[in-house]
Each structure stands twice: as C-alpha cells, then as structure tokens.
Amino acid sequence: MFKTLKLLFNKKNKDIQKRVLFTLGCLFVFIIGKTIPVPGTQGAVSDLDLWGLYDAISGGALARFSIFSLGVMPYISASIITGILQMDIIPYFVELKEQGATGRQKINQINRYLGLGIAFVQGFSMAFAFVENGTAVEYLKIAIMLTAGTAFLLWLGDRITQKGIGNGISLLIMAGIISSIPNMFIETFQSLVIGNESSLFLGILSFTLFVLVYVGIIVGIVYIEKSERRIPIQYANQTSSAYGAKQNYIPFKLNSASVMPVIFASVIFTIPSFIAGLMDSESAFAEFVSKYVNYTTPVGFTAYMLIIIMFCYFYTFLQINPEELSKNLNKNGGYIPGVRPGKETKEYISTVIGRITFIGAISIAVIAGLPIIFSSFIDTGLPSSVSIGGTSILIVIGVALDTYNQLENSLLNRSYRGGK
C-alpha cells in the first residue's frame, strides 16, 4: 500500500494524479448535490419506515428529499432486468451477450434508457408519496427533476469511469454510504453510552466491542475478497522441468461476483417497500411487505440471505462462462492436468466455481446478516441503523479494493513503461 502511495505522489505520474483528483472532485459534487432539496418541496422526509434501505443506499439523500434521492438505483434495477434477459430468455439479449465488447456497449446503452424510464416512474411515485395535496403538474415537475438527478449521476459515473479511477457507478454508491456511516456510529454511541443509565463503564465497553467487531468484519471482507482458488494448467508445447518451469494457472476468486449480489439484493428488497410506501400503511399489501419483505423480520431476513446467495451464483456465472473458458484453453493448446479437454474440462471448471462460490456466498451472507441479527433479533440496545451496516461495509470495502487494484495496476504499468 505504501509503495503504491509513493508511486502515486511521484512527479512522473502527474496524469494519474489528475485522474485521482478528478474522481475525488466528482464524488464531492455528488456529496454536495445530495444535500440540495427538490425545489418546491419541504425537503426533509420524516417517515422512512419502509424506505430505510433505499435511503441507506442513497447515502441519506432520500431523507432530505434531494435532487439525487433516486441515486443510481434505477440503473441497477435496469441492469438486473437485462442481466436476467441474457439467461437464454430473449434471443436478442443472448446475441448481444455473445458479441463481446460491442454487445456490452449496446447493453449498457439499453440499461441507461431503461434506467431513466424506471427513474421517472419512481420519481412520480415518490412525489405522490411525500408531497401532500399536490397537483398532477407538481408531481410531474418533481418526477422530471428526480429523473434529471439520476441522469446527471449516470453521466457523472461515466465521466469517472472514463477520466478517473475505478467504476463510476460503484464509487457513487460507495460515496453515499460512506457519508452516512458516521451517523450510524454516532447513533450507536448515543444508544450504548449516553443512553445507558445503569453503567457508564458497561456502555463504553459495549461501544468498544461494537467497534472491534466492525474492524473484524472489515478484516474478514478483505480476506474473502483476496482469497482465490488456482487451477493449474499446462500447454502442449511447454516442457515440464524441475527447474525454471513457469507455473501457469487460472485464478478464481472466492467471491468473483464482488459486491454486486449485495447491491442487487438490496435493490430487489427496495422494490416492494417502494410500492408499499405509496399505499395506505394499513393496506393488506403494506402489511405483507412490513411482515415478510422486511429484513428485520425472520421471514424477510431469510429471504434477504437467500437472495444474496442466489445472486452470488447468478453474477458469477454471468461473468465466467466455463464452456467458453474450456474452448479458449483447447484453442491455445492448454489443458488441466488429469482432466480431458472439452466436456470434462467444462464440467471440472463448473464444479470448482460452484464449490468456491458456495463458500463465498455463505461468507457474504453471514457478514451482511450479522448486524441485522444483533440489532433486530437480539436485545443489544443497538439502533436500527446498524442493521444495514453489514451490507454497507461490504459495498464500501468491495468497491474500495477494486478501485485500489485498478490504481495499483495503472501505477505499476506506468512504472514498468518508464523503466523500459
């Protein structure tokens, strides 16, 4: 890490320094923008009972009813829809998937248009839910402003991806979550220490233990993100020698899907809550969502964990195609020792990916679920804001590691070219 920082501040890497500063500047614009309320509204939203998860992912923008209240969630929703359609459901999307980089570019374009359509519907719904006694024209204006906010964030994310460091959309989500984490620790301190009337010492001890557990969770996430399973491979023209032979392998991360399953699961859970928030709180659907599509209830918690595990498999196999990998190996004269090329290689790779994904999915689900258990199912005195803490820290650490790896690779490549 210190070596990377040393390279970053090297005078020879001014262009990378500019990219980092550009990224930080864009994130600063986002932080400022989410404090600006929608014109013509009161700004603050008090009742977020069914909208808590959405507000947490947007970094508190919804609580302020800011111009960035929708965040990039509509785009994530569109990505989920198109991702599912690529699973041999609609031939057109399957063809786009097989076209490689060109197909991905077209899919990204579809995601943006579909995301803006979803944003408009959600914006109109939010206006109807949070603005009392408004007219249809007022609701339409608010919907347009919220959609414009999402469009601006998508544009800002693209600029970060192209001219900055890291994935712009993921960094915007991370920045929103980071800005709300201090409030969680403040509320926890007030609950455990200031609100503890029996013993100040026990309150401080409880808060210290809470911080240590969070540090442990961060260490666990880093370990999971760095862990990988290496499958050794050999090539037909490679001579095996006891000395000097280079070992080739295919690395598979324990959690190949990174933070996407957690983000997808969070978005899936916000949709019913979003619809229920538009209805009367005593309606049958709102009561159903409150009891069964709420991760603070036993049934909702179980569903949330299962969705995370399911999306770990879905996104991993969306990224890694064992059949294509097997064909590429065979085409380049490579093979896995002890495994026949072709169908057996494909089945072997599928089995390995399935096993490591199971371990990674369970680990991610446990990390996301522990804060919910301790804040909702066990009387620990922790505030409700802690329940989203596991999901938040997973997203933050996952995105931070991906961004750091990209920065490190850029610096090392520049250093290597400079040395040449």
Domain extent listing, the chain = 13-165, 181-420
Query: Is the pLDDT confidence value at 34 over 90?
Result: no
- The answer on pLDDT for 242 being more than 60 is no
Alpha carbon distance 307, 248 (integer Å): 35
Question: Residue 398: which of 254, 243, 234 has the closest Cα?
Answer: 254
Mean pLDDT over 208-230 rounds to 85
Note whether 13-165 and 181-420 share their fold. Answer: yes
The upper half-sphere exposure of residue 62, i.e. CA atoms within 13 Å in the direction of its Cβ, equals: 27
133 CB burial (10 A radius; 0-12, 13-18, 19+): exposed
Helix ranges (H only) for 34-100 are: 52-57, 73-85, 91-98
Locate all alpha helices (DSSP H) within 227-321, ordered by sequence. Answer: 260-276, 284-292, 298-319
At the fourth CATH level, the homologous superfamily of domain 13-165 is: SecY subunit domain (1.10.3370.10)
Per residue in 99-124, pLDDT (tens digit) is 777 888 888 888 899 999 989 988 88
* pLDDT for the residue numbered 243: 46
Nearest to 326 by CA among 309, 340, 307: 340
Angle between helices 343-372 and 322-331 (to 10 degrees): 140
More confident residue, 132 or 347: 347
Of the chain, the percentage scoring pLDDT greater than 90 comes to 7
Among 144, 146, 186, which residue's Cα sits nearest to residue 54? 146
pTM over 0.85: no
CATH 3.30.300.30 fits 181-420, yes or no: no
Alpha-carbon distance of 141 to 259, in angstroms, equals 34
Helix or strand (DSSP H, E) at 234 = strand 228-235
Q: How many CA atoms lie within 13 A of 73 on its CB side?
A: 30
Alpha-helical segments (H) within 190-259: 200-226
Label residue 420 by pLDDT band (50, 70, 90): very low
Average pLDDT, the chain: 80
Quick: pLDDT tens for 53-79: 667 777 777 777 888 888 888 888 888
Give the SS3 label for residue 235. strand
**Whether pLDDT at 234 is above 60:** yes
